[in-house]
Amino acid sequence: MATSGSSRKSPSGPLAGADARVRHRQRPRDPRARNSGAGVGGIDAWILLHHPCEDLWTLMMTDDGSNTAVDFWFDPVCPWTWLTSRWILEVRKFRSIDINWHVMSLAVLNEARMDELPERIRDLMQRSWAPVRVLMAAQDRLGPAILEPLYNALGSRYHPLDQPVERVTIEAALAEVGLSSDLAGVGETDTYDAALRESHRAGITTAGAAFGHVDLALAIVRASSPALSDLVARYLVVDERPSQAAYTIPSALAQSDPTVAAFERWTREHLAETFSLLDAAKAVGVSERTLQRLVQRTIGTSPIRFVQDLRVERAAHLLRTTELSMETISRKVGYEHPNTLRVLLRERTGKTIAALRNR
């Protein structure tokens, strides 16, 4: 298992890297032993969303009574971080873990590539500055213990309740944890930006990989069959992260609305068929107009463009992992003529078929 000092290519999608940065290290039972160095206890590694999870699997399945420290980096507007945080809180109910919460920032992560992002994502990045600034201010004034309750208050509003990333939501979250709503004003200043960037840097530079859930899944498969796990890993290889942005971001955003998430699942199951908005709307139980409105509001694009994104994703994967002809791949993703797919792949990924094959 790789240590926290190893480096993996850092992700570059707007939501990549925003997923919770989690590190755990085994703490010795005797606190005096900590003086011997960071490696005491045998584990000092990034385990979730960073590196293969054999030790995480052990953590979930066993408990020897010793405390395990978990360092968790989060941005409250990130849906994947929110889901991961709910999971780690459930783990804490049954395992001896101490969670150390740290703030990271989607806005900082993406500030150098804002022009590449869809307008809806750019707007979210701009608005995401305020909550992380407020979190840093609260931590400065009250200590790190305030981060968990304030994150819970913010995240529950942004995600299950789908409240806007605006000052009024921050004020409500502050009130819930007993803090003055005046603290929300910090979100409109850069007073804590230096501290925010340092906290972000501490989480983002230690290691990088957006798809820790894949590592976890492979660890579970590996427990039964290492050979099968290796085979699955090879088939999971996809094109490089920057070229995935067009379809990874909308796919992630789709999960925030149950109807749009159902539309995505239905579409993936019917990629080889000619797309019909009417059939899709019937399948998820809404009208065509409602589906168009929900997809546009949730993802920031039209249903047909989202379907094209999913077809590009699937076609690129097949080009990378199989020897199928373009004609066969085209049919598998719903195109009768291979040239239509060629044009779409070039438009969305910036690569030729040969380049995609050879990666």
Residues 176 and 77 in one domain: yes
Residue 111 pLDDT: 86
Domain of 253, in residue numbers? 239-357
Please tell me the predicted confidence (pLDDT) of residue 109: 87
Answer yes or no: is 118 within a domain.
Answer: yes
What's the CATH number where 274 sits?
1.10.10.60
CA distance 126 to 14: 12
Cα–Cα distance between 91 and 72 in angstroms, integer?
Answer: 13
Asked whether residue 335 is assigned to any structural domain, the reply reads yes
Distance between CA atoms of residues 347 and 332, nearest Å: 19
- Three-class DSSP category at 205: coil
Domain-embedded: residue 213: no
pLDDT in tens, 166-200: 999 999 999 999 999 999 999 999 999 999 999 98
Predicted local confidence at residue 325, as pLDDT: 92
Last residue of a domain, one of 204, 226, 253: 204
Whether residues 161 and 246 fall in one domain: no
Say if pTM beats, i.e. exceeds, 0.85: no
Q: Name every residue whose Cβ is closer than 8 Å to that of residue 14 and which is 6 or more positions away in sequence.
A: 106, 109, 110, 117, 121, 125, 245, 249
**Any domain includes 156:** yes
Residues 164 and 35 in one domain: yes
Q: How far is CA 2 from the centre of its chain?
A: 21
**Which whole number is the average pLDDT over 100-127?**
88
Summarised one tens digit per residue, pLDDT across range 21-78 is 444 443 333 332 323 222 222 222 233 333 333 445 455 555 556 677 888 999 999 9
Distance CA 354, CA 345 (A): 11
Same domain, 27 and 167: yes
- Beta strand extents in the chain (DSSP E only): 21-26, 44-48, 68-74, 97-103
191 and 247, same domain (yes or no): no
Residue 75's CATH number: 3.40.30.10
pLDDT of residue 46: 30
126 phi, psi to nearest 5 deg: -65, -45
